[in-house]
Amino acid sequence: MPNYKKVATKIAKSRAIYLFELAHSVFPECKKFSQRYVELAMKYAQRVKFKIPSRWKQRICHKCKRFLYPGINCRIRLQSRKGKGSHISVTCLECNFTTRFFIKAKSHLKESWMNNK
Ligand SMILES: [Zn+2]
């Protein structure tokens, strides 16, 4: 007997990823359609309970849930700070909300570099 929950999750995940790709390609022509595709993809993720891939999760504003397209409705800046940590800041130009994605330093590379010196 097939595991229906696994099959449903697999189908929903593939459809959601397809919808995100479609939203990305349609956005410059029609913002409304891309917004609808993102809403549908998020509904799939909520109903079947799977994690949206980080690549696409970073493209949704955390406050207003709009699709972010760099250069049109969002601003991306790189911040390099030694104390607090380097991060990528994404600012939504629709609601002016800034999301920070911290860049983790690879400790094993750092250690190997320290040993060579
Ligand atoms: Zn926003």
The number of beta carbons lying within 10 Å of the beta carbon of residue 99 is 17
C-alpha to C-alpha distances, 65 to 47, 59, 115, nearest whole angstrom: 17, 9, 46
Provide the whole-model pTM: 0.80
Domains and CATH numbers, the chain: 1-57 (1.20.5.420), 66-117 (no CATH)
Q: Residues with Cβ within 5 Å of ion ligand 1?
A: 61, 63-64, 92, 94-95, 97
For the chain, give the longest Cα–Cα distance: 59
CA pair distance 86, 101, nearest whole angstrom: 9
Question: Could you tell me the distance, in angstroms and rounded to a whole number, from the CA of residue 96 to the centre of ligand 1?
Answer: 6
What does each of the 117 residues of the chain score in pLDDT, given as a tens digit? Answer: 778 889 999 999 999 999 999 999 999 999 999 999 999 999 999 999 999 999 999 999 999 999 999 999 999 999 988 876 889 999 999 999 999 998 886 665 556 555 554
